[in-house]
Amino acid sequence: MADNITLTIDGRNVEVPPGTLILQAAKMLGIVIPTFCYDDRLRSVGACRMCLVEVEKSPKLVASCATPVAPGMVVYTTSPRVIKARKGVLEFLLINHPLDCPTCDKGGECPLQDLTYDYGPTTSRYKENKIRFIEDINQKFDEIKLGPEILIVRNRCIMCYKCIRIVREQAGEADLGVFKRGAFANIHALDELAFADEFSGNTVEYCPVGALLSSSFRYKIRDWLLKHTSSVCNLCPVGCNMRLDWSGDKVYRHMSRRNDEVEQGWLCDRGRYGFDITGAEDRILKPQIKRGASLEPCSFDEAAMVVAKHLRKIIDENRGSEVAAVGSALLSNEEAYAIRRFFNEVIKTSEIDFQTDTTQPLEAEQIDLIGLSGTLGDLESDPLFLFVGCDPAVEQPVATLRIKKAISANKAKAIFLGSYDKRLGNFPTKNVRIPFGLEPEALDYIISVLSGDNSGGDSRFDSEPLLKIADLIRQTGKVHIISGRSFFNHFNRDKFLSSLLALKKVSNGKLSILPSQGNFIGVSHFGLFGEPEHSFSKILERIDAGEIKTFFVFGANPIEEYPDRKFVQEALKKLEFLVVVSPFIHPTAAMAGVVFPQAMLPDYGGTFVNLEGRIQLFKPMENSLKLEVKPAWGIINELSGIMEIGSSWYSDIQIREDIANRLKEMEGLANIPDRGFIFPFINQDDYQSKLNSVTAISKAPAEYPYILQWMTSVHHNGWLTEKSENLMRIAGHQVALINPIDATHEGLVENQIARIGTDTTAINIPINISDKVNRGEILIINSFSKNPVNRLLKKDKPITYVSVKKA
Ligand code: SF4
Ligand code: SF4
Ligand code: FES
């Protein structure tokens, strides 16, 4: 390694590694050099010249953000020449700047405002008219829409190119570009209204002026009126650190809260723009009780009294086994723990689970397999990714930024093995297409090649690209196999698992099986995991058989989640008493006798576990706990109080202390560092594969010739995101992708509404004709409550065959 370099900045010596920029060396000394276009996560472009410094023996001032240090360099950051240059740069930047700070969203948090105050000229010598970009003379402002959420006011832009670099270097898209030249140069979307990639909101946060704006925040409130609360996003398992900006009881936006070990200051648009879910118009803030056929608001005391009386009777009659409770990955660790202890120890039932979206519940030994192998940071140095049964860009968006970095910085290779094509922006990746459901067989083929006992191909797929994958694995000597959403619901899940583990072993690689729901790992380890005999699938069967008569649902919505909507609806009708804890009256809550309003992110504090196993703390907004809106542990506390039985927990802190006292290995919970800590939840070493029966894919019936698949999208991944007006504005509508040959065969044209049906029901969806899907398969993107995909699914039919006809 080359020797460190010593230089002098403002009379102080500093020793830094070669390649360090002057700006970074100055920062090490605590010297702040003003910047606009510099961002340590993006390539330096030296565009704005705000960071000019004087270097001895250099005739010109140099851009400190683009100039590496040299031995013996002598730098001045506040010399008269430098200060004069800063003034000049600001005067130039302000020539065409509208100076409309009073109506600009960035006002109060604008580096251009601040630096002009610090260094800028107090008057302008420029007397000419400012250039404007008005396209419609009736329009008062120069703004135009770049996409469904983002606008640009082009005459505020200072051409720092940050937005373009974020879009290209991070998202890997080409949505934005610079049009025209000189003073008329401006940022625009390449296609009208097309700027909506999964990370678009970052451009607004990091634009150093008010040029880029979010529709959801524009003109809503001034920055200085906002209060800030540290939080963690739970809309997927990455667990991005974020800041809630709020006033009164309203959250106005989500901003990043940079944690370099997790999200590095980037948020995906789901996490960023989903802030309005908690303030949605139809959110319930009061308990509801069924009177006659409808739910009516009531006091918390009345609702709690009814539920407690019912439970008291069950306890007295020793009928705990007739009670079941399910939670969801939306809950905190503290809530999961309180639910487990209350229902296990007080009600005396083992019927507790959270896997409400699958007919293939994981077993106890399998739960430790779930999570990322290594850390998010480790992804940057993996040389080869094999994605199988997952689409990380949709399921764990911000984690893909690390993978993209591995591809761009280290020339890592990324291969998607599956039945439809996926992408990581425009970063180079390869799709190896196999027929639906044959992931285990394709993996077995690769394993056989790698282990030298390849006895020939499999007629169901093209072996050539699989041989190439095996070659790549051999060449790189290290593969990171990543699986996800499709794994959890795969009809041959155990076979899939054993093939994944076998490939990991034979390739000496890494295996990550990643959940797509937020606190999946947390709730499964803190109390909500149910052994298969107590899984939600089994609970439903017992409800249907009349064995379970009282059912509690915390933060879940089985009717919209389980792959058999009708069965859940029919089973729940047989209950004597259904209690639902939910922020909304969704279809499951509508069937309840009592609904408690559920506390959401800003209302309460607690911890989540991310996909690395990192336990992170999220805090409540001050004075946010609406009196009748409680986290699950708060509701349980009230019920316990009325029944005079069970534990009393008054805060999430107290629950963590309780856990830390009971479990030695969890003592860290009592004192969580600001940036969280990784707990070794994930362990793949001791697992012994088991193979139950393997289901073969049968031939499609003639009248239902298409295999149905469905997936979510970045902007919409379940019933909760449907409550976000912001996300719905971006998510677009539901579409069904069909192969061009199949579309021709069915006489369907692009965007035509098709009727996709089984023998019992059908839904109508517009068609996208795409060669990204196989012939004989149909892929629905997004499920909305008005047109739910799980209406087509049946729990005892592992593969769903459908017809696709003109509606
Ligand atoms: S819009 Fe903002 S981020 Fe983009 S170039 Fe202009 S000032 Fe920079
Ligand atoms: S990547 Fe996941 S955790 Fe991060 S902001 Fe997006 S949804 Fe939230
Ligand atoms: S910050 Fe250095 S040129 Fe812009």
**Predicted local confidence at residue 190, as pLDDT:** 85
- Over residues 338-362, the mean pLDDT reads 95
Q: Structural domain boundaries of the chain?
A: 5-78, 101-110+127-277, 288-365+519-678, 372-513, 706-806
Nearest Cα residue to atom 2 of ligand 1: 207
Contact residues for 338 (Cβ-Cβ < 8 A; gap 6+): 527, 632, 633, 636, 637, 647, 649, 655
pLDDT score for 765: 96
Residue among 602, 671, 2 at smallest CA distance from 283 = 602
Closest CA to 419 of 396, 403, 442: 442
Percentage, residues of the chain above pLDDT 90:
86
Q: Rounded to the nearest 5°, which phi and psi values hold at 465? A: -65, -25
The closest alpha carbon to 737, from 706, 712, 770, 763, belongs to: 770
Average pLDDT, integer, range 354-370: 92
Instruction: Look at residues 598, 541, 583 and name the one whose alpha carbon lies nearest to residue 353.
Output: 541
Q: Is the CB of 167 under 6 A from ligand 1?
A: no
For residue 665, what is the enclosing H or E element? Answer: none
- Would the pLDDT of 690 be above 90? no
Cα 781 to middle of ligand 2, angstroms? 19
CA distance 148 to 569: 36
Largest CA-CA distance found in the chain, in angstroms, rounded: 91
Cα 295 to ligand 2 centre (Å)? 34
Q: What is the pLDDT of residue 153?
A: 94
Is the pLDDT at 733 greater than 70? The verdict is: yes
Q: Annotate 263-293 with three-state secondary structure.
A: CCCCCCHHHHHHHHHCCCCCCCCCCEEEECC
Contacts of 551 (CB under 8 A, 6+ apart): 323, 324, 325, 326, 539, 543, 572, 575, 577, 578, 579
pLDDT recorded at residue 141: 72
For residue 48, what pLDDT is reported?
A: 96
* CA atoms of 555 and 581, how far apart (whole Å): 6
pLDDT at 18 over 80: yes
| Tokens of residue 334, six digits | 């503290």
Of all protein residues, the one whose alpha carbon is nearest to atom 8 of ligand 2 is: 271
Query: Is the pLDDT at 453 greater than 60, yes or no?
Result: yes
Taking a C-beta distance cutoff of 8 angstroms, is the pair 760, 684 a contact? no
Task: Report the pLDDT value the prediction gives residue 664, as an integer from 0 to 100.
Answer: 83
Ligand 1 centroid to residue 187 C-alpha, Å: 7
- Ramachandran area for residue 301 (φ above 0: left; ψ -120 to 50: alpha; else beta): alpha
**CA 442 to each of CA 88, 464, 496: distance values in angstroms, whole numbers, following the listed order:** 63, 11, 10
Q: Which of 21, 24, 32, 38 best tests ligand 3's pocket when mutated (most atoms within 8 Å of CB)?
A: 38
- How much is the pLDDT for 692? 66
Does the pLDDT at position 1 exceed 80?
no
Gap between the Cα atoms of 73 and 56, Å rounded: 7
Ligand nearest the Cα of residue 46 is: 3
Domain 372-513 has CATH 1.10.40.30: no
Q: Given a cut of 80, is residue 625 above it in pLDDT? A: no
Closest CA to 295 of 722, 587, 635: 587
Q: What is the pLDDT of residues 780-803, one digit of tens each?
A: 999 999 999 999 999 999 899 999
Kindly report, residue by residue over 96-121, the tens digit of the pLDDT: 998 899 999 999 999 999 999 999 88
* Cross-strand pairs, 241: 232
Residue 160 Cα to ligand 1 middle (Å): 5
pLDDT at residue 540 tops 60: yes
**For the domain bounded by 288-365+519-678, which CATH number is listed?**
3.40.50.740
Pocket probe for ligand 2: among 200, 202, 262, 270, the residue whose CB has the most ligand atoms within 8 Å is 270
Q: Give Cβ neighbours of residue 712 (< 8 Å, ≥ 6 apart).
A: 394, 395, 485, 516, 718, 781, 782, 783
Residue 581 has pLDDT above 80, yes or no: yes
Please give the share of the chain, as a percent, with pLDDT higher than 70: 99
Residue 733's nearest CA partner among 195, 146, 148, 271 is 148
Task: State yes or no: pLDDT of 748 exceeds 90.
Answer: yes
Ligand 3 center to 508 CA (angstroms): 45
Residue 89: the pLDDT is 96
Query: Residue 623: its pLDDT value, please?
Result: 67
Q: Any residues with CB less than 8 A from the CB of 456 and at least 6 apart, and which?
A: none
- For the Cβ of 268 lying below 6 angstroms from any atom of ligand 2, the answer is yes
**Site to substitute for ligand 2 among 170, 235, 258, most atoms within 8 A of C-beta:** 235
The whole-chain average pLDDT of the chain stands at 94
CA distance 528 to 506: 34
pLDDT at 624 over 90: no
DSSP, collapsed to helix, strand or coil, labels residue 541 as helix
Are 590 and 295 contacting, i.e. CB atoms less than 8 angstroms apart? yes
Q: 161: Cβ below 6 Å to ligand 3?
A: no
- Mean pLDDT, rounded, for 537-566: 97
153 burial via Cβ count (<10 Å: 0-12, 13-18, 19+): buried
**Helix H or strand E segment including 504:** helix 493-507
Under a CB-based contact definition with an 8 Å cutoff, are residues 216 and 269 in contact? Answer: no
CA dihedral 750, 755, 758, 762 (to 10 degrees): 130
Mean pLDDT to the nearest integer, 531-542: 93
pLDDT at 699: 87
- CATH label, 101-110+127-277, candidates 3.30.70.20, 3.40.50.620, 3.40.190.10, 3.75.10.10: 3.30.70.20
Q: Work out the number of other CB atoms within 10 angstroms of the CB of residue 664.
A: 7
Instruction: Work out the average pLDDT over 768-772.
Output: 97
Element spanning 491, H or E: none
Q: Give domain 5-78's CATH architecture.
A: Roll (3.10)
Which CATH code is given to the segment(s) 706-806?
Answer: 2.40.40.20
Task: Please give the sequence-ordered ranges of beta strands (E in DSSP) within 614-683, or none if there are none.
Answer: 614-618, 677-678
- At 132 the pLDDT is 84
Equal CATH topology for 5-78 and 288-365+519-678: no
